[in-house]
Structure 1
């Protein structure tokens, strides 16, 4: 008879709608599976990502996690604007409900899991998807990958790990450029600024990620755990900043200014923020 925990795990995996979760030879592979919207996430996606990371956390046979996206076009393009209402992604904005996405908890889980996480960026890593790869331990990118921010263009922002931790990686000036201008950067440009560890041809991406994962599996798990804790400790204060940022974002989402960014994106028209400077 199968153990109850095994049966529960199988039942949960069967319930996954937006994420493909696989475990093989010590590696957990988590794939955002919404290619029809460039792997943008909704509330369900974030919940499934958190569950998958926590399962990998609890499985002692897993030593490393690879996070990627389905297809060749996108790693992740952040929150799905079609699911964003006037007070958040599930109309639960404001002081009590947050933004309708458990994105803080997802960031916390990726950083907290005592195992290295490799982002295998196969295409666009934009907006909230860009922040996801930033909080991973390592990033390997396809030559066709594109990086950048979009928040100020669509009435949103991540003023927690998306800014403070990004600045630690690429420097203050570059981080401000990325957020203020919302331009797109090639994989090679991202590597030059220290945002990416390695760039490979598209067809070699998963081979490269699994190759690094294999090297990590040869190392002491306790040593890796303590190293990750040490790296995280230096930037642990950002968690508090992130809570403040997400609280303010929940209130901002209820404003006409934020709605203008979302509506312009959905209506495929130029955004007009000029009226909010009066």
Structure 2
């Protein structure tokens, strides 16, 4: 089933959801995020859900096409669509696996954070981009990521906007396994088969119970999104987004 720029396909015991906007490295806009949420919510009859990207990237996060000339209402919807997508992953009764087949950047990296399990192709890369492009990673990387990889490493990732290899992501604890690119699908299929042999009822209980840290951070998400909305059309946002689109280094205003 295809819903705009999202494809959902039942493969054995799993529903595979593919983010399919290769021209922008599978970055999502509100419509694409809504389609992904619909696909996730419609996959509860599967034993597992797999999220991956069309060839070329896993997900480059929220689309930055309009950030250089932002509209407050549009940006509010983009920010909120990110949270709706990540919440759908966490509220899905089935384990959600990130099959990371390329770059997971910005909100794409936060999508990995939201998933229950993650398998990465060796060529995959990871990292946050917020402070580099005039934004901040408030829906996972500034809070829940600290639980996953430790506070100092999480702050390094969120503040410095470095890029990490798949092997580095494995060492950090951001992913469960790294495999050669051509073995990504078989490795995920094997993980799905493992999950399919277990009780879906008790897997759901285990998953929902594990959301304690996500739920505890929920106020932080909302507060962070509110601050981002108030910063729409700021000089920092305009410069970061314009520099990104022009593929140059940003020259942000000095601190006040």
Bin for the TM-score computed over the shorter chain: over 0.9
From the superposition, tell whether residues 191 and 51 of structure 1 become closer, same or farther in structure 2 (CA, over 3 Å): same
RMSD: 1.6
Of 63, 66, 91, the residue aligned with 1:112 is: 91
**Paired residues, what number?**
256
Give the equivalent residue in structure 1 for 2:105.
126
Normalised by the length of structure 1, the TM-score is 0.87
User: C-alpha deviations, 1:219-263, integer Å up to 9, x for none?
Assistant: 001110000011102431111211111111111123121111001
SS across alignment from 1:161: coil
Contact 1:257–1:276 under 8 Å retained in 2: no
Greater Rg over alpha carbons, structure: 1
5+ residue gaps, structure 2, are none
**Where does 1:164-243 land on structure 2 (aligned, <5 Å)?**
164-243=143-222
SS across alignment from 1:56: coil
Give the equivalent residue in structure 1 for 2:6.
19
Cα deviation, residue 99, structure 1: 4.1
Structure 1 CA distance for aligned equivalents of residues 70 and 230 of structure 2: 8
Give the equivalent residue in structure 2 for 1:84.
67
Structure 1 CA distance for aligned equivalents of residues 77 and 49 of structure 2: 28
Contact 1:147–1:186 under 8 Å retained in 2: yes
SS across alignment from 1:277: coil
**Where does 1:52-67 land on structure 2 (aligned, <5 Å)?**
52-57=39-44, 60=45, 62-67=46-51
5+ residue gaps, structure 1, are 1-12
Give the equivalent residue in structure 2 for 1:277.
255
**Where does 1:130-141 land on structure 2 (aligned, <5 Å)?**
130-141=109-120
Structure 2 CA distance for aligned equivalents of residues 148 and 27 of structure 1: 27
Contact 2:62–2:78 under 8 Å retained in 1: no
Normalised by the length of structure 2, the TM-score is 0.95
Give the equivalent residue in structure 2 for 1:46.
33
Structure 1 CA distance for aligned equivalents of residues 92 and 66 of structure 2: 29
Structure 2 CA distance for aligned equivalents of residues 120 and 114 of structure 1: 18
